[in-house]
Amino acid sequence: MKNRLEYIAFILCSRIFQLLGLKTSRKISGIIAVIFYYLIPIRKKTVLENLRMAFPDYSEKIIRQIAFNNYKSFAIVTIEILSMSKFNRDEINNVAFCENPDLVLNKFNEKNGLILLTAHFGNWEYFGASLSSQLNLKFHMIVKPLRNPFVDKLMNNTRTKWINDVIPMGVSVRRSYQILKDHLVLAMAGDQRGPEEGIKIIFFGKQTSVYTGPAVFSLRTGAPILYFLAIRQPDYKYKIIVHEINQDNLPEDENEKISEVSRRHMLLLEKYIRQYPEQWLWMHKRWKH
């Protein structure tokens, strides 16, 4: 019953935002932020703790301002995601522009497989849907199944509406290797916290466990890693930045190689979080272990 009620609420919110249109819906993101920051403070303590750890030199006033703007940013992303199912191909193509799309096509044409790595930054769903459609290139996206199976199915229908495919996390390893072996494109988010006993790196000056999947896939298959972030602009369009993760001069030890590749892509993420701190998802305990 709980899942069905959540699904109904999800559909209802989607219909409301689609009826209002994105321009009007985005204007109420501030109201949504007030509700969930002040009145129903979901994960507020975690957000503030993370920000204080990441920016120890910032005043409490600035920390709280970033935190509120983070809730507003998340409200905007939620509104955009809930509106996506009604987009046509021209609309999804126009939500974002990529700085260097030729780099993606050139790396893909090298026939080594290709790993596209992103983070929960800006609008990560726009990144996969818009860029793949613009390039007419299928991304096989590793996604974490949502707790609610009805909402999960609906989200995956939206993700695959244009050209992409989804791979549920948990059954993804063998299929992911096969995708890279077949010289195709594997896309994933890589900013999740890793297991307590896993490899640790320095992130914002503090040690934290890291998700090593991207580094492992790359090192074992030879597929290059291109790192992407969809950064929201003042006009609400997204600029997709892309960088290749350099893999020169890696250590000899396998675990140290994995650690170093992971460190390099997380260092790139840290650079952009420092520039746009409100656009990263601070609502999970990144330094739990």
Q: What's the pLDDT band for 286 if we cut at 50, 70, 90?
A: confident
Give per-residue pLDDT as tens, 89-107: 999 999 999 989 999 999 9
32-45 pLDDT, tens digit per residue, is 999 999 999 999 99
Domain-embedded: residue 117: yes
Asked whether the beta carbons of 44 and 67 are under 8 A apart, the reply is: yes
Is the whole-model pTM more than 0.85?
Answer: yes
* Average pLDDT, rounded, for the chain: 94
Of 32, 37, 22, give the one whose Cα is nearest residue 80: 22
Taking CA atoms, 264 is separated from 48, 117, 220, 239, 242, in Å, by 26, 12, 17, 22, 14
Does any domain span residue 179? yes
Give the number of domains in the chain: 1
Residue 285 maps to a domain:
no
Q: Is the pLDDT of residue 288 over 80?
A: no
Distance of CA 33 to the CA centre of its chain: 20
Pairwise CA distance, residues 281 & 71, whole Å: 9
Joined together, the tokens standing for residue 86 give 């009604």
Residue 286 lies in a domain: no
pLDDT tens across 57-84, in order? 999 999 999 999 999 999 999 999 999 9
Specify the CATH number for the domain of residue 224: 3.40.1130
Say how many C-beta atoms besides its own lie within 10 A of residue 257's C-beta. Answer: 17
Structure tokens at 89: 């191909």
Q: Please report whether residue 126 resides in a domain.
A: yes
Count of other CB atoms within 10 angstroms of residue 140: 22
The type of residue at 190 is G
Average pLDDT over residues 211-234: 96
Q: 285 phi and psi, to 5 degrees?
A: -80, 85
Mean pLDDT, to the nearest integer, of 188-198?
90
The answer to whether position 287 is within a domain reads no
Most confident residue range from 56-70, 140-154, 171-185: 56-70
Domain range for 57 is 2-279
Closest CA to 82 of 35, 28, 3: 28
Asked whether residue 128 is assigned to any structural domain, the reply reads: yes
**Does residue 107 sit within a domain?**
yes
